[in-house]
Amino acid sequence: MSSKYGAPQPYYPPDWAKELSVIPKTRIKLAQLPTPIHSWSVPGLPDGFQLYIKRDDLTGSTLSGNKVRKLEFIFSEALDQGCDTVITGGGLQSNHTRATAVVAKELGLSSLNILYLPPEKTHESSLSSKEKGNLLLSCMVGATSETVPFLAAETRFKQMEEYMKATSDRLIVKGHLPCIVELGGANPTGAWGYIEAFQEMIDQGILENFDDIVMCAGTGGTALGIGLASYLTGSKLKVHAVCTKAPSTVVATNINKELSKIKKEGMDNHLQCSDIVDLIDLHTDTSIKKEDLDFLTQVSTKTGIILDTTFTLKTVICMLHEMKYNPERFRGQRILFMHTGGLFGLCDGQLDPVLVQTPDTNRIRSIHEFIDVV
């Protein structure tokens, strides 16, 4: 196997994770690690709190965000099994399907993404010259995308499983060896991406320097990895995950399902999601409002950090709300926010009107207004 990443290497888990039941045998290094941690003076931070940011938006360029950490273990397993095609799914602007498509191509595999359309769209079967953001990158690497109608959050995982299984059967008949990757890379193998990330953060001093970690939960895979690792190491950190895509009941079910697969034999049989992660529901609905977008541009123009509108923006708004109105929810005041990426999803055209209307971002001028250019 030759690619710029080389072959999968034997993987040895940290000592504190050795007893888990699904330990990957190999790992292929795809991400740019370790990602930095630095202080972050986000607008609106309540007095008393000190906020730092873990830059998992910097895990790579076309691979950036949290998914690539999971894919290091998932692709390693796929290569070890001799798969030639990777099947996965997500929304039209899914960061996960984009990262999967790029990694697949870099490793010489085919990739097929099943994408559910936004509610207002009922049909999408060819390039429409509107491909932007993540979808643009998937197209650029020649990934196949097959669209299905919008799927409600509550039934999405199950329906997607069925679509992916049927697609896999179709490819097997044609002589392929496909591998199905769960939505968001949320399976016991992928969970190791964030178990391993916790060790990276221990090496960066989080156990001494922080009281709480806050992140976003989509499938909950990232929160599971961090929460379980924090539990296994006996750390005093409190792990919070803001549920931006589905209600916490749905996320908890998902995390419990994965937890039961990865828990070691005989390990605290009652261990469940609520013991390892504090799931936080949004105090607003999931739709993005004008004031949210104003905050998004305020954050980027004041601090240079770019959040995304699907995951991290709502997470930060909700975190600040909890700090202000529910500070006892936090174990202490030294908070680490995990930036899980999502930059390309933001580049789907949604911000065009906002940038024009906001004086701080509408700063394109012709130099002719100021000097004579010959």
Residues that bind ligand PLP (CB under 6 A): 65-66, 95-96, 184, 186, 216-223, 308, 311-312, 340-342
Helix H, strand E, coil C: the string for the chain is CCCCCCCCEECCCCHHHCCCCCCCCEECCCCCCCCCEEECCCCCCCCCCEEEEEEHHHCCCCCCCCHHHHHHHHHHHHHHCCCCEEEEEEECCCHHHHHHHHHHHHCCCEEEEEEECCCCCCCCCCCCCCCCHHHHHHHHCCCEEEEECCCCHHHHHHHHHHHHHHHHHHHHHCCCCEEECCHHHCCHHHHHHHHHHHHHHHHCCHHHHCCEEEEEECCCHHHHHHHHHHHHCCCCCEEEEEECCCCHHHHHHHHHHHHHHHCCCCCCCCCCHHHHCEEEECCCCCCCCHHHHHHHHHHHHHHCCCCCCCCHHHHHHHHHHHHHHCHHHCCCCEEEEEECCCHHHHCCCCCHHHHHHCCCCCCCCCHHHCCCCC
Is 129 an annotated catalytic residue? no
Comparing CB distances to ligand PLP, the nearer of 104 and 316 is 316
Other residues' Cβ atoms within 10 Å of the Cβ of residue 314: 25
Out of 64, 76, 94, 110, pick the active-site residue: 94
Nearer CB in complex with ligand PLP: 46/247: 247
Contacts of 164 by beta carbon, 8 Å cutoff, 6+ apart:
87, 88, 89, 114, 180
Whole-number minimum distance, CB 47 to ligand PLP, in Å? 28
Q: Which is nearer to ligand PLP, 318 or 364 (CB)?
A: 318
Identify which of residues 249 and 362 has a Cβ nearer to ligand PLP in the complex: 249
Nearer to ligand PLP, 297 or 340 (CB): 340
| ∠ CA 164-285-214, rounded to 5° | 75
Smallest distance from the beta carbon of 66 to ligand PLP, in angstroms?
5
Judged by CB, which is closer to ligand PLP: 60, or 341? 341
Q: Which of 298, 290, 308 is nearest to 133 (CA)?
A: 308
Q: Is the CB of 47 or the CB of 312 nearer to ligand PLP?
A: 312
Q: Would you please indicate which residues are annotated as catalytic (active-site) residues?
A: 94
